[in-house]
Chain A
Amino acid sequence: MTAPDRTVAGPGTKAGLDPKAGPGPASGPDPIAGTSPITGAIPVADPDSTTPGLDSDLLASPPVSPRRAAWRRFLKYRLALPGLIVLTLVVLGAVLGPLLWQVDPNAVDPAQYRNPPSPDHPLGTDSAGRDVLARLIVGGRVSLAVGLAAAVTATFVGILLGALAGYARGWVDSFLSRVCEVMQSFPTIIVIITFAAFFGPSLVTMIIIIGLMEWTGGFRVTRGLTMSLREQDSVVAVVGLGARNSRVLFRHIVPAVLGPATVIATGMISGVIMTEATLSFLGLGVPPPSSSWGTMLNQAQSLRILESMPWMWLPPGIAIAITVLSVNFIGEGLRNAVDPRQGQR
Chain B
Amino acid sequence: MTSTSETTPVLSVRDLTCEFSTAGGTVRAVNGVSFDLAPGETLGVVGESGSGKSITMLAILGLLAANGRITGGSVTLDGVELVGASEKRLQSVRGREISMIFQDPMTALNPVMTIAAQIDESLKRHSRGLDRRGRQSRIIELLDQVRIPNAVRRARQYPHEFSGGMRQRAMIAMAMANRPRILLADEPTTALDVTVQAQILDLLHDVQVETGTALVMITHDLGVIAEVADRALVMYAGRVVETGTAAELFAEPRHPYTRGLLASRPTLDDTDGGDLDAIPGQPPNPARLPSGCSFRPRCDLAQGRTECAEAPELAVLGEGRAAACHFHTELALSERPA
* Residues of A near any B CB (own CB < 8 A): 32, 36-38, 42-49, 51-53, 55-60
Are B23 and A56 touching (Cβ within 8 A)? Answer: yes
Q: Which of A32, A43, A46 has the most CB of B within 10 A?
A: A46
Task: Say yes or no: A48 contacts B107, CB within 8 Å.
Answer: no
B92 proximal to A (CB < 8 A): no
Chain A residues contacting B104 (CB-CB under 8 Å) are 42-46
Interface size on B, residues (CB 8 A): 34
* Interface secondary structure of A, over-half rule: loop
Specify which chain B residues have a CB less than 8 angstroms from the CB of A38 in the assembled complex. Answer: 106-107, 111, 160
The interface bits of chain B over 106-119 (1 if a CB of A lies within 8 angstroms of the residue's CB, else 0) are 11000100000000
Given contacts A38-B160, A42-B191, A59-B287, contact A52 B22 (CB under 8 A): yes
Q: Give the residues from 18 to 72 in chain B that come closer than 8 angstroms, CB to CB, to chain A.
A: 20, 22-25, 27, 29, 49-55, 58, 65, 67-68
Contact B111 A47 (CB under 8 A): no
Q: How far is the CA of A204 from the CA of B160 in the complex (A)?
A: 54
Residues of A within 8 A of B49 (CB): 46-48
Q: List 25 A-B contacts (CB under 8 A).
A: A42-B106, A46-B54, A46-B186, A46-B190, A48-B49, A48-B52, A48-B54, A48-B55, A49-B58, A51-B20, A51-B22, A51-B67, A52-B22, A52-B29, A53-B27, A53-B67, A55-B22, A55-B24, A55-B287, A58-B24, A58-B285, A58-B288, A59-B24, A59-B287, A60-B23
Residues of B within 8 A of A46 (CB): 49, 54, 102-104, 186-187, 190
Please, which residues of chain A bring their CB within 8 A of the CB of B22? 51-53, 55-56
Given contacts A37-B160, A48-B187, A55-B24, 6 further A-B contacts (CB under 8 A): A49-B54, A51-B20, A51-B29, A52-B27, A53-B23, A56-B24
CA gap between A60 and B23 in the complex, in Å: 9
Asked if residues A44 and B107 are in contact (CB atoms below 8 Å), the reply is: yes
The reply to whether B288 and A59 contact each other, CB–CB distance below 8 Å, is yes
B111 near A52 (CB under 8 angstroms)? no
A44 to B107 alpha-carbon distance, docked (Å)? 8
B residues 126-153 near A (Cβ < 8 Å) are none
The yes or no answer to B260 lying at the interface (CB within 8 A) is: no
Q: How far is the CA of A46 from the CA of B287 in the complex (A)?
A: 18
Q: CB-CB < 8 A to A44: which residues of B? A: 104, 107
CB atoms of B20 and A48 under 8 A apart: no
- Which residues of the partner chain A approach B53 to less than 8 Å between Cβ atoms? 48
Contacts of B111 in A (CB 8 A): 32, 36, 38
Smallest CB separation, B237 vs chain A (Å):
11
Question: Given the complex, which residues of B lie within 8 Å of A42, measured CB to CB?
Answer: 104, 106, 164, 191
- CA A258 to CA B186, docked complex, whole Å: 46
Q: Mark B222-244, 1 if CB is under 8 A from A, else 0.
A: 00000000000000000000000
Interface core residue of A45, A49, A55 (most chain B CB under 10 Å)? A49
The distance in angstroms between the C-alpha atoms of A49 and B104, with both chains bound, is 12
Q: How far is the CB of B149 from chain A (nearest CB, A)?
A: 21
